[in-house]
């Protein structure tokens, strides 16, 4: 057995180095530093939607207004606790204390504003006439031919001061049949009107579908890819270490790897995420005696990495065990150490075997990243949920989210199928067998290079 170490450069080592280099591009550091720090403040409403044009004051200093995504970046503040006061139209002003650290992202949630209205104001609530009876946003209400406004995205209603008497009321919304009626209006009363869809289904709205698709691709897809790539990179390192531990002759290393793999695989990923996001800060604060905060993105990355690392540990274990033990014995007989044998002989071959399985794990990781929605990580499913709540139509945004996921996972699935064919050991053996079965040349002599 002749070994050429230059030709047996471990592919897995190169990939790990590349992934580790890419990690800092997707995950910004969140460690506290002294002096001035740069912090991103995220203002959300009571439905966890971004609040644009919200005024932000930090320690009685006006720092500006939020952008269209409800974000504003501030600097020239020292690390530590600061008071943030946020206000926006239609929402109650709130002051909250948040911990500043360099590169951190802090959230401030605003509730509804308690407004005392005129008791004579008339309220119109517009509902879907279908079985769902869901509220409709963006429906225009006309009184005696004059528009009085559109139903809002919060309650599906519009309010207006209308004199008592008989009036002609008309409700109109694109894609829906108009509803026009004559009724006697009493000041301060609430009236409910229904609209029927002009098409076959009332749950699907093409304009809302395109709007949700645009938001989920431009906003949520980037966060989903960041979560998946960073978690895959970290999980790959954890999985390789755990895979080596599972086949190690060192009983301590093997026991630790076995406990980790079996323990993590035996717990639901949702439980792991909730523990990292809510339980881990309490644990660290109790141990250190100080305050510890973790943002949703970082918590989601940690949970996905730990969970994925356990499964990839089993993948690497299976790949290593698939290599015939004679490979290790031959390498050791040539004077190579155990680590050198694993590095130059076993792992390069094992990596080719497990490459399709790693591809499948990455696809599963992309879908598992949707679990970040429960802690308000603004990935694809979070945007579909937010848009559905805003327009009282959950089916259409969820359908758009499904389309986005399929556009990612189907090409990746085809790529995995190609890798399975490319690195299929049985196919390689069949090709080799075909060479062995070549007919002998004239004269009965075997071709050179055959056995």
Note whether 219 and 310 are same-domain residues: yes
Examine the fold and report which residue of 64, 84, 112 is the final residue of a domain before the chain moves on: 112
Note whether 289 and 157 are same-domain residues: no
- Reduced to 3 states (helix: H, G, I; strand: E, B; else coil), residue 38 is strand
The answer to whether residue 325 is domain-embedded is yes
Question: Which single residue is written with the structure tokens 């946003």?
Answer: 137
Identify the CA nearest to 224 among candidates 280, 279, 304, 278. Answer: 304
Please list the alpha-helical segments (H only) found in 180-250.
Answer: 206-215, 221-246
Q: Over its length of 451 residues, how does the chain's per-residue pLDDT go in tens digits?
A: 444 444 444 444 445 544 554 554 444 443 334 458 888 998 988 766 788 889 999 988 899 999 888 899 998 888 888 899 999 877 888 898 888 888 888 889 888 765 546 788 899 999 888 776 778 888 899 999 999 988 876 677 888 888 899 999 999 987 788 899 999 999 889 999 998 876 555 677 888 899 999 999 998 999 999 999 999 999 999 999 999 999 998 999 999 999 999 999 999 999 999 999 999 888 888 888 777 888 889 999 999 999 999 999 999 999 999 988 888 888 888 889 888 888 888 988 898 889 889 999 999 999 999 999 998 898 999 999 888 877 778 889 999 999 999 999 999 999 988 888 876 654 444 444 443 444 444 444 444 444 3
The Cα–Cα gap between 203 and 392 comes to 10
The answer to whether residue 87 is domain-embedded is yes
Note whether 399 and 417 are same-domain residues: yes
The answer to whether residue 447 is domain-embedded is no
Examine the fold and report which residue of 112, 136, 171 is the final residue of a domain before the chain moves on: 112
Is residue 43 a contact partner of residue 65, using CB atoms and an 8 Å limit? no
Is residue 353 a contact partner of residue 327, using CB atoms and an 8 Å limit? no
CATH of the domain at 388: 1.10.3720.10
- The whole domain housing 266 covers 206-432
Contact residues for 176 (Cβ-Cβ < 8 A; gap 6+)? 136, 139, 195, 196, 197, 198, 202
> Which DSSP symbol is given to 256?
H
The answer to whether residue 25 is domain-embedded is no
Identify the CA nearest to 32 among candidates 106, 104, 92. Answer: 104
Three-state secondary structure along 109-143? ECCECCCCCCCCCEEEEEEECCCCCCECCCCEEEE
Note whether 246 and 266 are same-domain residues: yes
At 298, which helix (H) or strand (E)? helix 296-322
Please report the pLDDT score of residue 208 as a whole number: 86
The Cα–Cα gap between 336 and 246 comes to 21
The answer to whether residue 133 is domain-embedded is yes
The Cα–Cα gap between 258 and 243 comes to 9
Note whether 89 and 125 are same-domain residues: no
Number of folded domains that form the chain: 3
Identify the CA nearest to 214 among candidates 412, 388, 384. Answer: 384
The answer to whether residue 181 is domain-embedded is yes
CATH of the domain at 90: 2.60.40.1120
Note whether 240 and 257 are same-domain residues: yes
Cα-Cα-Cα-Cα torsion 406, 411, 416, 420, nearest 10 degrees, comes to 120
Examine the fold and report which residue of 137, 168, 197 is the final residue of a domain before the chain moves on: 197
Note whether 161 and 299 are same-domain residues: no
Note whether 256 and 391 are same-domain residues: yes
The answer to whether residue 22 is domain-embedded is no
pTM listed for this prediction: 0.65
| Strand 71-78 to 36-44 pairing | antiparallel
| Strand 190-197 to 122-128 pairing | parallel
The answer to whether residue 23 is domain-embedded is no
Note whether 213 and 188 are same-domain residues: no
């Amino acid at each position: 057995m002749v070994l050429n170490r230059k030709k047996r450069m471990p592919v897995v080592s190169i990939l790990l180095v590349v992934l580790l280099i890419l990690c800092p591009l997707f995950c910004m550091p969140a460690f506290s530093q002294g002096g001035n720090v740069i912090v991103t403040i995220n203002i959300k409403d009571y439905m966890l939607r971004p609040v644009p044009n919200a005024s932000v004051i930090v320690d009685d200093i006006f720092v500006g207004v939020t952008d269209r995504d409800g974000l504003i970046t501030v600097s020239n503040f020292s690390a530590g606790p600061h008071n943030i006061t946020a206000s926006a139209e239609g929402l109650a002003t709130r002051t909250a204390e948040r911990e500043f650290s360099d590169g951190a992202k802090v959230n401030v949630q605003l509730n509804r504003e308690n407004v005392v209205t005129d008791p004579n104001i008339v309220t119109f609530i517009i509902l879907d006439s279908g079985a769902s009876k869901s509220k409709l946003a963006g429906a225009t209400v006309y009184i005696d031919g004059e528009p009085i406004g559109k139903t809002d995205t919060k309650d599906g209603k519009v309010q207006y001061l209308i004199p008592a008497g008989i009036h002609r009321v008309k409700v109109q919304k694109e894609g829906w049949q108009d509803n026009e009626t004559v009724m006697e209006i009493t000041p301060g009363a609430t009236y409910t009107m229904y609209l029927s869809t002009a098409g076959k289904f009332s749950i699907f709205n093409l304009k809302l579908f395109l709007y949700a698709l645009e938001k989920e691709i431009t906003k949520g897809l980037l966060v989903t890819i960041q979560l998946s790539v960073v978690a895959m990179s970290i999980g790959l390192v954890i999985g390789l270490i755990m895979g080596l531990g599972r086949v190690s002759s060192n009983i301590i290393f093997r026991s630790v790897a076995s406990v980790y793999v079996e323990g993590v695989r035996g717990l639901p990923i949702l439980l792991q995420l909730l523990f990292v996001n809510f339980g881990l800060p309490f644990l660290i604060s109790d141990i250190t005696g100080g305050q510890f905060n973790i943002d949703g993105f970082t918590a989601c990355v940690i949970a996905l990495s730990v969970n994925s690392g356990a499964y990839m540990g089993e993948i690497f274990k299976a790949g290593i065990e698939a290599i015939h033990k004679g490979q290790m014995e031959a390498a050791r007989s040539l004077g190579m150490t155990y680590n050198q044998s694993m590095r130059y002989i076993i792992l390069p071959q094992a990596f080719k075997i497990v490459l399709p399985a790693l591809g499948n794990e990455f696809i599963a990781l992309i879908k598992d990243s949707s679990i970040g929605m429960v802690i308000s990580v603004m990935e694809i499913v979070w945007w579909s949920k937010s848009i559905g709540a805003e327009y009282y139509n959950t089916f259409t945004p969820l359908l758009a989210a499904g389309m986005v996921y399929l556009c990612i996972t189907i090409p990746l699935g085809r790529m995995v199928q190609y890798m399975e064919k490319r690195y299929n050991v049985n196919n390689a053996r069949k090709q080799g067998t075909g060479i062995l079965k070549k007919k002998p040349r004239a004269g009965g002599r075997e071709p050179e290079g055959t056995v």
